[in-house]
Amino acid sequence: MAITKLDQMFDLLKSKPKKRLSVAFANDAHTIEAVYAAVEKGIVDATLTGNEVLIKQICEEHHMDAGKFEILHEPNELKAASLAVQLINEGKASLLMKGSLSTDKYMRAILNKSTGITNEGAVLSHVTVMEFPSYHKLLTIADVAIIPQPDLKQKIKMIGYLVGVAKAIGVDKPNVAVIAATEQMLAGMPACVDGAILAKMSDRGQIADCVVDGPLSLDAAIDMESVQIKKITGPVAGNADCLLFPNIESGNVFFKAGSKLAGAELAAYVAGARVPCVLTSRGDSALTKTYSIALAALMAR
């Protein structure tokens, strides 16, 4: 049965083997609080790389037991990120998380050709699960942070990531909406053309384990009243589990409007590397980061 709330992931994880989380440059309170909460809930063990003195100081200030973590002292943020990735390559951890370093430095460590954790030709994509008070189930979306303008091949990979996450949270056959500005098939709009191609590929079984429909406007994907007014048919319309956005701008605006204006809570990670990589904003709450750890743990092999 599909879960409908993000906090239900914690119960789901209790039946799975515990994973070890490697945290790159864990020098901020929000990251440490999130990891501490995940450790306390019994969903991960954790190794923190960063400034050991600062990490222990933060733990003391926030009444957390630093002994709950393995701490590897490395005060240089680039070296700390490399060390966190090294733990993955050595088989000492099975999921990665960004601490207080910038996203570009974190991604540089992941993508490094000789010491990183990506295979040749890998397509990385940011996948987010959002819990809206106004929607009847969790929404899984991509991409809000990694791929600026995905081409058709990248969109096929992204659908695979979306479907994988939706199935991990209990959706047997996810409904995937390929989002465009309109549900009409307009040849002059690339998002519409891609949506129609992906829907036809789904019809023919070339995209498996899901139902893909597109192009669909946002209201046609998630609002049944709009679907009825517009007389749109099909299982995806008004009932999407997954939203595939045409570009990073549209996805990012939806993501931020949802979380900042509509009260959505979220969990997010980067798919496509050899292990799930938690990537949240430095401004995200500790709860969002804990949910993101839980999602990565669900997706870890």
The residue extents of the domains of the chain are: 8-121+273-299, 125-260
- 277 with 95: CB under 8 angstroms? yes
CATH 3.40.50.300 fits 125-260, yes or no: no
What is the spatial distance between Cα 238 and Cα 218, in angstroms, rounded to a whole number? 9
**Can you read off the two tokens belonging to residue 129?**
């699960």
Residue 285 has pLDDT above 90, yes or no: no
What is the residue-averaged pLDDT of the chain? 96
N- to C-terminal Cα distance for the chain?
Answer: 21
Q: What is the pTM of this model?
A: 0.95
Which position has the token pair 């440059």? 25
- pLDDT score at 191: 97
Residue 281's pLDDT is 78
Looking at residue 141, its pLDDT comes to 98
pLDDT score recorded for residue 2: 82
8-121+273-299 shares its CATH topology with 125-260: no
Q: What is the mean pLDDT of residues 178-200?
A: 97
In the predicted model, what is the mean pLDDT of residues 111-120? 95
List 179's β-bridge partners, or say none. Answer: 216
What confidence category does residue 261 fall into, taking pLDDT thresholds of 50, 70 and 90? Answer: very high
Quick check: 44 pLDDT over 90? yes
CA-to-CA separations, 101 to 50, 92, 169, 188, 259, in angstroms, rounded: 10, 22, 30, 41, 22
Compute the average pLDDT of residues 286-290: 92
For residue 293, the one-letter residue type is I
| Alpha carbon distance 224, 204 (integer Å) | 26
Point out which residues pair with 19 in neighbouring strands: 44
> Among the residues of the chain, which ranges form H helices?
8-13, 29-40, 52-61, 77-89, 103-111, 152-168, 190-203, 218-222, 224-230, 248-260, 286-299
User: Over 80: is that where the pLDDT of 111 sits?
Assistant: yes
How many Å is the maximal CA-CA distance in the chain? 62
To the question of domain 8-121+273-299 being in CATH 3.40.50.460, the answer is no
